[in-house]
Amino acid sequence: MFLTTRSLATGLCVAALLPLVAGCQGESAASPKVEQWVKVEAVEPQRLDERMTLTGTIAARTENNLSFRTNGRIVERRVDVGDAVRKGEVLARLDPSTQQADVDSARAGVASAQAQVQQATAAFERARSLFSQGFVTRREFDQADQALKVANAGALSARAELASAEDALSFTELKADADGIVTDRKLDVGEIAQAAATVFTIAWDGPRDALFDISEGLLLRDKKPAAITVALIADPSIRTEGAIRQVAPSVDPQTATVRVKIGLDQVPAGMTLGAAVSGSASIPSPPVFVVPPAALTSLDGKPALWMFNPGTSEVSMRPVDVSTYETASVVVNGGLQAGEQVVVEGTKLLRPGQKVSLSQEAAAR
């Protein structure tokens, strides 16, 4: 009896609560869904040209290493580093004793050969006269003719030896091959110079270059500025314009840099050889899009953005190509078109195809 009464009381309580539960469910089903508010921005392409400044030096466009063409001991040096020279000017001399002796010997040989030619010529003329009169045989005449030819050949050989000896003597003088400035000296008076070993380096007068050692990474961008402003570091008001004339084909293994030569249009008087200069240029950039970092998301491990369709008010995810990640922005160089709307705020709970509402700020735009 006690269990029956208790069960009946429980049943009555459950029956009384059922209408209340049903009412709550109905009220919940009738409540409206919470809207997803987002902020969007229309993207437009822009150029982000990079301004770059490097330091370098002024150098002659043409430099030549001068060396003796024979071995010997240097007995005279007339110029030093920094001196201006003229074409044909004697810069240094070797001891000419040996070469001068060879010239003297060759001159004596020429004199001896000339004497033999004169003697042979007289003998030939006499033999020809006697042969025409029948006083000598044909054999004697031919012998005289042969002796004259041998003498003439000997004279030619002697003169050739003299010319060779005089050339060797001239090689003891080192002369400038063009107007310019001495930029380097390897040997001095009293030292032994080997043939073809550099003694002086001459920077020719004329066009000049600005030399810069550029990081290999900058060249990998394959971006070359149209014009470069070169200014004197000691006096930035002294400046000129130039363009890239030559890029070294190899990388310096010690510095990992590449030597770049900037051909200067005009060289101000203050830009002397070796002067320190700065080179400034704007590196051109292709059209890119800039979005806030908060707009960036990920799709299959790759960068992506939420795109807003104003016609349907739906959002979709699109992969993009990112060129640069910066502190306050992300530079996108692929995957976007001008005028498209990107979700920049409210991306946390979005799903593809979801309808969203624009924030008042975005709607006002």
Q: CB pairs under 8 A, 24+ apart, for 151-157?
A: 151/113, 151/116, 151/117, 151/119, 151/120, 151/121, 152/117, 152/120, 154/113, 154/116, 154/117, 155/110, 155/113, 155/114, 155/116, 155/117, 157/113
Cα-to-chain-centroid distance, residue 223: 12
Residue 316 three-state SS: strand
Angle between helices 97-133 and 138-170 (to 10 degrees): 160
Which residues have a Cβ under 8 Å from the Cβ of 75 and sit 6 or more positions away?
Answer: 93, 94, 95, 189
Quote the DSSP letter at residue 250.
Answer: S
Check residue 70 and give its pLDDT. 93
Query: Do 36-48+287-358 and 96-171 share a fold?
Result: no
Check residue 222 and give its pLDDT. 58
Cα-to-chain-centroid distance, residue 137: 83
Indicate the fold that domain 66-93+173-203 takes in CATH. Answer: OB fold (Dihydrolipoamide Acetyltransferase, E2P) (2.40.50)
Name the residue with tokens 């270059």. 209
Q: Does domain 96-171 have CATH number 1.10.287.470?
A: yes
Quote the DSSP letter at residue 288.
Answer: B
Domain boundaries, the chain: 36-48+287-358, 54-59+206-283, 66-93+173-203, 96-171
Per-residue model confidence as pLDDT tens for the chain (365 residues): 333 444 444 443 444 444 444 444 444 444 445 578 899 999 999 888 778 899 999 999 999 999 999 999 999 999 999 999 999 999 999 999 999 999 999 999 999 999 999 999 999 999 999 989 988 899 999 999 999 999 999 999 999 999 999 999 999 999 999 999 999 999 999 999 999 999 999 999 889 999 999 887 766 555 677 789 999 999 999 999 999 999 998 888 888 899 999 999 889 988 988 899 999 988 777 889 999 998 999 888 899 999 999 999 999 999 999 988 888 899 999 999 999 999 999 888 888 999 998 875 544 44
Is residue 344 within 8 Å of residue 303, measured between CB atoms?
A: no
Q: Which amino acid is at 207?
A: P
Strands 50-60 and 276-283: what pairing? antiparallel
Check residue 6 and give its pLDDT. 46
DSSP letters for 99-150: HHHHHHHHHHHHHHHHHHHHHHHHHHHHHHHHHHHTSS-HHHHHHHHHHHHH
Q: Decide: pTM greater than 0.85.
A: no
Rounded alpha-carbon distances, angstroms, from residue 338 to 125, 309, 334: 106, 14, 11
Indicate the fold that domain 54-59+206-283 takes in CATH. Answer: Elongation Factor Tu (Ef-tu); domain 3 (2.40.30)
The CATH number, out of the four listed (2.40.420.20, 2.40.50.140, 1.10.3720.10, 2.102.10.10), of the domain defined by the range 36-48+287-358? 2.40.420.20
